Structure 1
Amino acid sequence: MKYFSIVAAFTSMVAISSAAAVEKRADVSVYLCNDRNFTGYCKVIKSPSSVCVPLASDFDNLVSSVGPDPGVLCYFFVNANCNSNGGAFHYGNPGVADLSRTPVNGPAGSTRNYEDQISSYQCFTS
């Protein structure tokens, strides 16, 4: 009987840790639009957390607004395959309504034009 109790306790601990591992890989969503201020052709793209997402032809180099879900941080890349050599920025919710004036690190008010330049992204739960 004692052996059975130990096995049952161990099995429940494994199930709990497995559930936590599955939860960490939950899907994340980002809202993309091809016009500023979240207008024009828009789409919610869902992907597993931490996976690089290359943009399909309907958004590749055509994005003007990005909006990750609450609790999600996304890195957006100019190059495909989440390669930061061409430029990249990160943003959480509510996102950036006008990528032509994307806030970047630097002096207060610094921006960079990323409009119609995004080719891939990678999001993480925060």
Structure 2
Amino acid sequence: MQLTLTKLFTIATAVAAAGALPASETKADDAAASPIHPAIGAPSPAIQPAPQDFNVGTVWTDANMGGSAGSITVDGIPSSCRNFIAPFIDSISSIQVESGIRCVFFVDSNCNGAQLTVQNGAFVANLAGTNFQDSISSVQCFSV
């Protein structure tokens, strides 16, 4: 017979209910034994995996996808504000955003200042002639 965590928990509960073990032994031992939730065999709700950043688009330092390329990575949708770092801060000339995503680009850090919205698979080949050429400093993304 294979004993699973759920079966062991059921047996320990039945033994404790029958009075075979003092209550102090079952409660203290059960509480310190494992962070696994006994009823479902899954991690305790208090233990959450670390969030993973994921790519929602690309920026380039030159027009028409030229120069250095960098991924627009976010921590979730909606994302927190992300500040660009070198070589991209105030150097972005073309932008592509994945389908189903809307990203708002800002000329100042911490998602402040003038805004440019790019969404739903759009590609901006050349920001020349706009107020955003080589002036984007931060981004925040959402679902469409």
2:63 to 23, 36, 60: 36
Aligned to 1:120: 138
Moved over 6 A (4+): none
Letter in 2 for 1:64: S
**TM-score, scaled relative to structure 2:** 0.58
Aligned to 2:106: 77
1:91 to 118, 125, 132: 118
What's the CA shift for 1:28?
Answer: 4.7
Deviations 1:17-59 (A, max 9, x none): xxxxxxxxx8451200000011111122321222111001210
Q: Is the Cα contact below 8 Å between 2:55 and 2:71 reproduced in 1?
A: no
**TM-score, scaled relative to structure 1:** 0.65
| Distance (Å, rounded) in 2 between the aligned partners of 1:77 and 1:45 | 13
Which secondary structure does the structure 1 equivalent of 2:91 belong to? coil
Which secondary structure does the structure 1 equivalent of 2:124 belong to? coil
Root-mean-square deviation (CA, aligned residues, Å) is: 2.6
**Bigger radius of gyration, 1 or 2?**
2
Q: Is the Cα contact below 8 Å between 2:57 and 2:72 reproduced in 1?
A: yes
Q: % of aligned pairs identical?
A: 33
Which secondary structure does the structure 1 equivalent of 2:64 belong to? helix
- Bigger proportion of residues as helix: 1
Larger RCO (alpha carbons 8 Å, 6+ apart): 1
Q: Does 1:62 align with 2:91?
A: yes
- Aligned CA distance change for structure 1 residues 46 and 64 (closer, same or farther; 3 Å): same
* Structure 2 gap segments, 5+ residues each: 1-52
Number of equivalenced pairs: 96
- Aligned CA distance change for structure 1 residues 28 and 51 (closer, same or farther; 3 Å): farther
| Distance (Å, rounded) in 2 between the aligned partners of 1:31 and 1:81 | 19
- Aligned CA distance change for structure 1 residues 79 and 38 (closer, same or farther; 3 Å): same
